[in-house]
Amino acid sequence: MCPKDEHLQKPALSSQFEVGGLAVRNRVVLAPMSGVTDLPFRQLAWRFGAGMVVTEMVASRELVGNAAESWARLRSSGIDPHVVQLAGREAHWMAEAAKIVAGNGAAIVDINMGCPAKKVTGGYSGSALMRDPDHALSLIEATVKAVNVPVTLKMRLGWDDQSINAPLIARRAQDAGVRMITIHGRTRMQFYNGKADWDAIRAVRDVISIPLIANGDVATADDAHEILKRSGADAVMIGRSSQGRPWHAGVLAGSIAHPGTAEIIATVEEHYAMMLDFYGVDVGLRHARKHLGWYLDRFAPQTTGAGKAAIMTSTDPAAVIARTMAALSAGAVPLQESDAAA
Ligand SMILES: Cc1cc2nc3c(=O)[nH]c(=O)nc-3n(C[C@H](O)[C@H](O)[C@H](O)COP(=O)(O)O)c2cc1C
């Protein structure tokens, strides 16, 4: 079969697929991002038509210890399937946490084996688990055994270039009952440097039959088609390219037309209100700053210096949103153009 035919046979990004018997409405998935994909952001991305959205990672031991922040991270409302990601290094805590999240409405439990942060790998969770596949498997098996809902796994290609073991772990995870695998096409030692290796993900495709999601550096529809073609994956996951545009997954999936200027501005206003409501005014105001910064960078890049500082440092929510609206309304670049160019 020539490459062109192969490409033509790929399912459309807008088509449905299944994970462990659950329907996923299209093939563009919003990545879990700590500090970003909280409930307000996921609600917006879901409403705009992302195929699936995933919570920020929830630390298993902290959740079992009843930490308020962990509980906030696993809240959901109207999102289907509700996918909760757990991180941890001990089978026992992962299993206990999985029972809690499944008992509280999670339709899918995702295991984080990709996080490169020193804070996380230093505790031997996240991508550090990839250094010890036997241990990783014990944790996966315990999680699968603990719950009746599908368990999925997200990881990188390996720890470093000398230890590319995602295919081995993926195969063993499938045998242990994992129902979907996501691969970020970088090693842990790459952190976020260089370019994600979309071709390397195919080695995982070659050894598993469960759904595979490819991830890393996908910003445009062309990227999405290309990563699927090169990796052989069933769906694509997008992270950073959705920052400052929660509608992006939905646009790539063809769920919605690209929002126009008025809708973008209304969305920013709504997002801000949702964050203040979710976190309370003091915490919400601080958490919202990074989102406002992303919106301004994308759609009002002329807002710099004192103008931006006034938005980023004010503790008066009414003033913050009024200034942001004014900056976006006066945006120096046509909104759609800057969005498409990113
Ligand atoms: C701010 C930030 C937070 C992240 N938090 C998580 C997380 O909680 N769990 C996880 O599995 N990956 C996390 N990731 C990794 C992303 O899910 C994704 O794999 C990575 O950003 C590559 O995709 P992208 O190039 O589309 O951004 C995070 C990434 C970023 C930038």
The verdict on whether residue 184 carries a ligand-binding annotation is: yes
Which residue minimizes the CA distance to atom 15 of ligand 1?
33
Preceding amide of 81 cis, omega within 30: yes
> Is the predicted pLDDT of residue 241 greater than 70, yes or no?
yes
- Spelled out in words, what is the top-level CATH class assigned to the domain 3-252? alpha beta
Distance 115 CA to ligand 1 centre (A): 7
* Domain spans of the chain, in order of start: 3-252, 261-341
Strands 17-19 and 22-24 turn out to be antiparallel
> Could you tell which of 28, 29, 34 is best to mutate to test the pocket of ligand 1, judged by most ligand atoms within 8 Å of the CB?
34
| pLDDT tens-place string over residues 172-210 | 999 999 999 999 999 999 999 999 999 999 999 999 999
Q: pLDDT-derived band of residue 333, with 50, 70 and 90 as boundaries?
A: low
Side-chain-facing half-sphere of 34: CA atoms under 13 Å: 16
For residue 161, give the nearest of 194, 137, 135, 129 by alpha carbon: 194
At residue 209, the pLDDT reads 98
Catalytic residue among 83, 87, 106, 115: 115
At residue 238, the pLDDT reads 98
Distance 32 CA to ligand 1 centre (A): 6
The verdict on whether residue 85 carries a ligand-binding annotation is: yes
Q: What's this model's pTM, rounded to 2 decimal places?
A: 0.94
Q: pLDDT-derived band of residue 337, with 50, 70 and 90 as boundaries?
A: very low
Which residue minimizes the CA distance to atom 28 of ligand 1?
33
Say whether 115 is catalytic: yes
- Does 154 sit in the ligand 1 pocket, CB within 6 Å? yes
- Does 264 sit in the ligand 1 pocket, CB within 6 Å? no
How many whole angstroms separate alpha carbon 168 and alpha carbon 239?
25
- Does 36 sit in the ligand 1 pocket, CB within 6 Å? yes
From the CA atom positions of the chain, what is the Rg in Å? Answer: 20
Other residues' Cβ atoms within 10 Å of the Cβ of residue 299: 25
ipTM of the complex: 1.00
Distance 36 CA to ligand 1 centre (A): 9
- Does 78 sit in the ligand 1 pocket, CB within 6 Å? no
- Does 56 sit in the ligand 1 pocket, CB within 6 Å? yes
> Is the predicted pLDDT of residue 2 greater than 70, yes or no?
no
